[in-house]
Amino acid sequence: MSERPSSLQRAAARSLVRKYLRVRPGENVMVEAWSHTLPMSSAMVDEVRQAGGKAFLAYEDDDAWWRAVDRREEEPLGQLSDPEWAAIAAANVYVQFWGPADSARLEKLGDKGVDAWGDGWFNRWYTLARSTGLRGGRMAVGWVTDSRVRHWGVNKPRWTNALLQGCLADPEEMTRTGGRLGRALAAARKVRITHPNGTDLEVAPGRAPPRVYGGFPHPKDAAYSEFDMMGNFPEGCLRIALDSTTAEGTLVANRRSYDEVWFPWATYTGGRFEFENGRLKSFSFDEGGARFTKSYRRGSPGRDRTGSLSIGLNPRLTNVPYLEDRQRGAVRLAVGRNSYLGGSNPSDFFGFVTVAGSEVSLDGTPVVRAGKIL
């Protein structure tokens, strides 16, 4: 029997169901759970029902899933049953918890192993979801696993609570603040980022409009990515593609960086990017530099150009693993691919560094100071 949801889990579920997903009476809500997410999944189902929605819990058992992997049954694992397809087609809202819980074992499968069970349903799933206007969210609490706790050296209850606290932020307020900041960014010619740690970097916004991720899903919204029908919880950031020909100066990270893959794992600390004449002149990391270098060298042209700028909007997140860039006022500077944001850089490489507590000025006017959005 699974443990009962905590009061914080119930509060986070209530916030997500009522404020982020805005579940209405009579709506069909599908919740996809794994063994390690059952308490929070239970809280979501309960809140859906209290909001007048009709909840359906789809449960994947970790042990059964791994037994199928051990038998090399990629084909059945990569296929959803007809009843599940029917449920997705009938759903108005979809909530996804990441799994399975043994993330270290999952990493050992490699990209090919993970793709083997994802390729069979991924494209069909999103095609169907787009056609119905499905709105939903991916639950970051599913990332909290024993193996990641050991690998990242974090406290499991503290990490879990931080993610749940982040779901209590007001999505309306984050969206308003992001919209105001986005309008200022879109009108600016130059962006300067400074910090006492040695950061002093000047970049330029690209032509594509900024995107605000305040927590609301964006189904059938042409201004967003085809995958933005699903929000990420907790959320809170503004992103904009940069002019890939403009960059001068240095950005020194005071937060971790990660490989952006299905299941976050590789980390880099103490990052430093130096730009000259629009190109990434050099980079270094206190930890993880060899792996970053290997990935960078394999990257296609455009890997040495600025890709995107992200400014955090969530006031309830502070240095939370893999969500450092969502912290209010935190700045993430990425090099490489920005085509997913409407930019002109199609490189297959994507790497970033994040600095919190900096000052951001647009054409000389501060809009972020010491991490506070002005």
Q: Which of 333, 331, 181 is nearest to 242 (CA)?
A: 333
Cβ density class 82-114: b for 16+ within 10 Å, e for less: eebeebbeebbbbbbbbbbbbbeebbeeeeeee
The region of weakest confidence among 41-50, 73-82, 249-258 is 73-82
Residue percentage of the chain with pLDDT more than 90: 78
Check: CB of residue 368 under 8 Å from CB of residue 177: no
> Per this entry, what is the length of the chain?
374
Query: Which token pair is 56?
Result: 């359906």
Query: Residue 58: is its pLDDT beyond 60?
Result: yes
* 3-class secondary-structure state, position 128: helix
The region of weakest confidence among 70-79, 127-136, 198-207 is 70-79
Q: Mind spelling out the 3-state secondary structure of 195-207?
A: CCCCCEEEEEECC
Segment 334-359 shows an average pLDDT of 95
What phi, psi does 86 have (nearest 5°)? -65, -40
Residue with tokens 């970049």: 203
Cα separation, 144 vs 174, whole angstroms? 25
* 3-class secondary-structure state, position 182: helix
Kindly indicate the confidence band of residue 306, based on its pLDDT and cuts at 50, 70 and 90: very high
The region of weakest confidence among 99-103, 139-143, 275-279 is 99-103
* 3-class secondary-structure state, position 85: helix
Segment 152-179 shows an average pLDDT of 96
Cα separation, 156 vs 304, whole angstroms? 36
Look at residue 70 in the predicted model and tell me its pLDDT.
87
CATH class for the domain made up of 7-166: alpha beta
Which residues have a Cβ under 8 Å from the Cβ of 225 and sit 6 or more positions away? 340
Segment 75-82 shows an average pLDDT of 83
Look at residue 263 in the predicted model and tell me its pLDDT.
54
Query: Residue 188: is its pLDDT beyond 80?
Result: yes
Residue percentage of the chain with pLDDT more than 70: 95
Cα separation, 77 vs 86, whole angstroms? 18
Look at residue 182 in the predicted model and tell me its pLDDT.
97
Look at residue 119 in the predicted model and tell me its pLDDT.
64
The region of weakest confidence among 120-124, 190-194, 314-318 is 120-124
Cα separation, 196 vs 181, whole angstroms? 23
Query: Residue 107: is its pLDDT beyond 80?
Result: no
The residues that bridge with 242 in the sheet, in sequence order, are 205
Kindly indicate the confidence band of residue 120, based on its pLDDT and cuts at 50, 70 and 90: low
Separation of CA 61 from chain center: 25
Cα separation, 285 vs 254, whole angstroms? 11
Check: CB of residue 175 under 8 Å from CB of residue 201: no
Handedness of CA 231, 94, 135, 12 (dihedral sign): negative
Q: Domain extents for the chain?
A: 7-166, 171-373
Query: Residue 353: is its pLDDT beyond 90?
Result: yes
Q: Rounded mean pLDDT of the chain? A: 92
Look at residue 1 in the predicted model and tell me its pLDDT.
44
Cα separation, 213 vs 311, whole angstroms? 10
* 3-class secondary-structure state, position 285: coil
Cα separation, 51 vs 185, whole angstroms? 38
Kindly indicate the confidence band of residue 222, based on its pLDDT and cuts at 50, 70 and 90: confident
Check: CB of residue 305 under 8 Å from CB of residue 244: yes
Kindly indicate the confidence band of residue 116, based on its pLDDT and cuts at 50, 70 and 90: low
Cα separation, 39 vs 51, whole angstroms? 19
Query: Residue 93: is its pLDDT beyond 60?
Result: yes
Residue with tokens 């296929």: 79
CA atoms within 13 Å, Cβ hemisphere of 11 = 12
Kindly indicate the confidence band of residue 3, based on its pLDDT and cuts at 50, 70 and 90: confident
* Angle subtended by helix axes 156-166 and 7-15, to nearest 10: 30
| Residue type present at position 298 | R
Look at residue 29 in the predicted model and tell me its pLDDT.
98
Cα separation, 247 vs 359, whole angstroms? 17
